[in-house]
Structure 1
Amino acid sequence: MSSAIGRRGLLLGTAGVLGGCAMGGGGGDTDGAKGETSAANPLGVKDDAALEVVIFNGGFGEDYAKAHQEMYRQRYPKAQIKHSATQQIAETLQPRFVAGDPPDVVNNSGGSQIDFNGLVAQNALADLGELLDAPSLDDPAKKVRDTLLPGIVDVGSYDGRFLSLNYAYSAYGIWYSRKLFESRGWEYPKTWDEMINLCRTIKAAGIAPWTYPGKHSRYMSWPILAAAAKLGGPEVILAIDNLEPNAWKNPAVVAAAEAYYQLAVDGFLQPGAAGMDHVQSQTEWCRGNAAFLSCGSWLENEQKAVTPPDFRMAVAPTPSLTKSDRLPYETFRGTGSEPFIVPAKGRNVRGGLEYLRVMLSQAGASDFTRRVSSLTCVRGSSAGLSLGPGLTSVTELIEASDGGAFTWLYNSYYRKLERERVDGACAELFAKRINAAQWCDTVQKSADEFARDPAIKKYKRT
């Protein structure tokens, strides 16, 4: 199976604010910030044009971006670079988009992203196709598009235009401590029966088998959907992404929801987890108070301040639900994340495209991985690096899958559906206020609402 790499949740549903306001004038003086094209300057960057970059200051921090900006400055020493970082992307930048004076590069990530559908609908984003066809910094004979992992262009494209560069590569799965497991003689379970049996053993040892962030319960929807995809095949996910009737009631989704609901019913969830946020639950896990955690591969960097030196965190695929699952056990959800955009009305669009080209160089990508313990979308950029145990396990996961990665995009297309509806339904499910069948019904009703709403732009995935 070929890789289908997606996004780790683009964009907060603020289309009502952005979509309801026409983009203003001003800014966007791209002709004024355009230089002569040449072999050394294929995108026609004006060497003294100022560049403004705004970074989401989340799990990856902002130091990696400052390093990329220094690489840009080395190429264009006359250019002044304005750097800022915030966790409030939408609150900070949405007024500037409306006013027609956005920055030149935006890392549109985090819980307060600007709604991507609103940006697309308003033609607020520069087409990155020219970047894809530009020569790479490392090999002028090779186009930038040929240096990217499979699927990155597809998942950043809307209506046939490449509008978002998902720079990081995230692998999702179930995390555990190799030290804990080896010290107890436990083996990671490859089937659901093995998972339940091991959970009984772990609980008897006085450790919570699972923890989860009850305040962000959608984290537990990820293994449910991964298990459903492996059980029923990729078409299960395609139906969900395309808002098809009864997609969330597919027998594979029901079976997966019932399996993970069993964790709550059998008392395998850490007491108090329902009131925890992601950092609190992850910290409990790092302290050895729980054995399993659902998360993405940014986990190691996000928890580096509290992870014991000998913890040896590792990630594994979701266990197979049956012996007849359509996809192999080794198959996992692999996605592009950390979306970068170049606003169409930025004052230095050419510089914005070039900044992304710098990021996509081997030097830019490997420096990112070294600093933040995350892979990038650039092929081979982690070669020769000394990786932490968590990221090493991610590379092992990718290699073992032999290209068998999948993802879903409904959380990108219709962010509120995951961030509000699925999140809320998961909170109810794992608090045992609803059962698995009711969870499927609840989410399906929400998906149907989105499907019927004419104000919501629909995307078709094939």
Structure 2
Amino acid sequence: MKTQSQTLSSLHRRDFLRGGLAVAALATSGLAGCAASGTGSTPAASSAAGPTSAENPFGLAANSSTEAVIFKGGYGIEYAEFAGKAMQTKQSGSTVKVDAATNIAQTLQPRFVAGNPPDVIDNSGAGLIGINTIRDQLADLTDVINANNYEGTKIADTLYPGVTAPGTFDGKFVQLNYVLTVYALWYSASLFESEGWTVPKTYDEMYELGGQAKAKGKFLLGWGKEAATYYQTMAIASAIKQGGDEVRLALENLKPDAWSMQPVQDVFNGLKKIIDAGYVKKGGAGTQFTAAQAQWSNDQDFILYPSGGWIENEMKTQTKDDFKMTGAPEPTVSSTSAMPWEALHSTAGEGYIVPAQGKNVAGGKEFLRAMLSKDAATNFAKTTFSSSIVKGLIPEDGFGSTALQSQVKMLDAAGTNVFTWNFVDLYGTNTDQLVLWNAFLQGGSDVATLTKGLQSITDKIAKDDSIKKVPVS
């Protein structure tokens, strides 16, 4: 369970920047205790730098050693080990040590305090380091993306648009988010093909599909208790697509009427109509989320499921043969929506940092250059069935993954119509919102109750002066 051409539209550019600001504030709030700030400490001396060149843009010293600590989560660490070996081959005589950690803050806090952090860190997972507590101790990574990759192409020209903004704080780019996450409505293309079903683009079309599924003894939707807010994620995306940027801004800025905005209410009512018709499999509030997801991916009790692109890897041992897992954009309310149906909720994540106090800053940056090489990024996609921020590397067959194929197609179709938001993670509202969404999906509450509850959570945060707010404009 996962707890984001040149941007050429101002909306797209602003969205990724706002994502970066929100991450900074998130670190200031709930995660701030994960690591000592260290502000004012004297950086440890880096290893002696060598001469710079096109082949050695950061001046990596000859025969130097680089230490990388990688979060061991859903993606594993093998892709980082692959990059380390590529770096050793490219920079002959250098060595790279790749270590795994499951709680980054707990593991590395003492080392930041002592002034001897690793040279490069995958700052990810539930126990990540609050970036705002250490960002003054991090190296600027602008020179990494301005360097050429191992194939001789400027790295910045190889990346999806907007992916550096979430790691930019006060104008300084200090965190490289390596993985591109796509959020979608997932289904079995083989099942839809055999039944002659069409992927719904609106909530009315979803309702109609629910009737067709019921006739075949299946439900339209289902959920698990820990993931009930996946439906909130879908609802927010639908409302933003329907009503435009003003919907996102109202939610991000904790406005007193945010959840009562018409596009949001239209989405809620569309979902409620589906629930009241009996098209949602009951019992999700008492079902562990992966068990519920298996009801979709293995048993095919229900036919649609909203999630991020990690869903295939998460359910790889519990997916029916020939399921052909495929994603589609979240629905809009109507065909006259402010953004097209193809618009996509997507953002970059899995943040890599290079501590300025590290013994080998040049080595940390060279490791990132290796990761952003064509070979390493292709290996990541091939072994994790996920996309890195390096574009154009996934073949048409998606390395045999229909889910990965569909993510590439959705990104291509969305173009510059890509957006994200951060207020849920920023202010830590998911736990309280889960209660409301479990009740709503179960049929135990109505739209008015859901709206009142969500707004109450929002208002409580807005009025709490002890919580640092991040204005979004």
**Same fold flag (TM > 0.5):** yes
Q: Distance in 2 between matches of 1:391 and 1:68?
A: 21
Please list, as runs of the form range in 1=range in 2, the aligned pairs for 1:49-448 lying within 5 A after superposition: 49-120=64-135, 123-139=136-152, 142=154, 144-287=155-298, 288-383=300-395, 386-411=399-424, 414=426, 416-417=428-429, 419-448=430-459
User: Secondary structure of 2:220's match?
Assistant: strand
Query: After alignment, is 22-31 or 126-135 more displaced?
Result: 22-31
153 and 204 in structure 1: CA distance in 2 versus 1, 3 angstrom threshold: same
TM-score normalised by the chain length of structure 2 = 0.86
Query: After alignment, is 446-455 or 201-210 more displaced?
Result: 446-455
Cα RMSD, aligned residues only: 2.9
The percent of aligned pairs where both chains have the same amino acid is 34
34 and 415 in structure 1: CA distance in 2 versus 1, 3 angstrom threshold: farther
Give the aligned residue type for 1:427: N
Q: Distance in 2 between matches of 1:429 and 1:94?
A: 41
Q: Distance in 2 between matches of 1:258 and 1:401?
A: 26
Give the aligned residue type for 1:75: K
After TM superposition, give the deviation of residue 325 of structure 1 in Å.
Answer: 1.3
Give the aligned residue type for 1:399: D
Q: Distance in 1 between matches of 2:424 and 2:52?
A: 39
Q: Distance in 2 between matches of 1:128 and 1:27?
A: 20
Give the aligned residue type for 1:310: D
Give the aligned residue type for 1:296: G
After TM superposition, give the deviation of residue 28 of structure 1 in Å.
Answer: 4.4
User: Secondary structure of 2:60's match?
Assistant: coil
After TM superposition, give the deviation of residue 449 of structure 1 in Å.
Answer: 4.1
Q: Is the CA contact (8 Å cut-off) linking 2:68 and 2:120 kept in structure 1?
A: yes
Give the aligned residue type for 1:181: F
Q: Is the CA contact (8 Å cut-off) linking 1:215 and 1:275 kept in structure 2?
A: no
Q: Distance in 1 between matches of 2:61 and 2:432?
A: 46
After TM superposition, give the deviation of residue 33 of structure 1 in Å.
Answer: 4.8
After TM superposition, give the deviation of residue 406 of structure 1 in Å.
Answer: 1.7
After TM superposition, give the deviation of residue 47 of structure 1 in Å.
Answer: 3.4
User: Which string of whole-angstrom CA distances, capped at 9 and with x for unpartnered residues, describes residues 336-384 of structure 1?
Assistant: 1222222333332221111111111111211111111111211222247
User: Secondary structure of 2:350's match?
Assistant: strand
After TM superposition, give the deviation of residue 265 of structure 1 in Å.
Answer: 3.5
Q: Distance in 2 between matches of 1:435 and 1:406?
A: 29
Q: Distance in 2 between matches of 1:216 and 1:30?
A: 46
After TM superposition, give the deviation of residue 315 of structure 1 in Å.
Answer: 0.6
After TM superposition, give the deviation of residue 91 of structure 1 in Å.
Answer: 3.1
Q: Which residue of 2 aligns with 1:15?
A: 31
Q: Is the CA contact (8 Å cut-off) linking 1:297 and 1:374 kept in structure 2?
A: yes
129 and 447 in structure 1: CA distance in 2 versus 1, 3 angstrom threshold: farther
43 and 16 in structure 1: CA distance in 2 versus 1, 3 angstrom threshold: closer
Give the aligned residue type for 2:324: R
User: Which string of whole-angstrom CA distances, capped at 9 and with x for unpartnered residues, describes residues 83-122 of structure 1?
Assistant: 22233333333443344333222222233333334344xx
58 and 18 in structure 1: CA distance in 2 versus 1, 3 angstrom threshold: closer
Stretches of structure 2 that go unaligned for 5 or more consecutive residues are 1-7
Q: Is the CA contact (8 Å cut-off) linking 1:254 and 1:437 kept in structure 2?
A: no
User: Which string of whole-angstrom CA distances, capped at 9 and with x for unpartnered residues, describes residues 204-231 of structure 1?
Assistant: 3222221223213222221111110111
Q: Is the CA contact (8 Å cut-off) linking 1:18 and 1:94 kept in structure 2?
A: yes
Q: Which residue of 1 aligns with 2:5?
A: none
Q: Distance in 1 between matches of 2:465 and 2:212?
A: 51
Give the aligned residue type for 2:413: A
Stretches of structure 1 that go unaligned for 5 or more consecutive residues are none
239 and 374 in structure 1: CA distance in 2 versus 1, 3 angstrom threshold: same
Q: Distance in 2 between matches of 1:402 and 1:223?
A: 20
How many pairs align? 455
Q: Is the CA contact (8 Å cut-off) linking 2:243 and 2:338 kept in structure 1?
A: yes
14 and 203 in structure 1: CA distance in 2 versus 1, 3 angstrom threshold: same
After TM superposition, give the deviation of residue 391 of structure 1 in Å.
Answer: 0.9
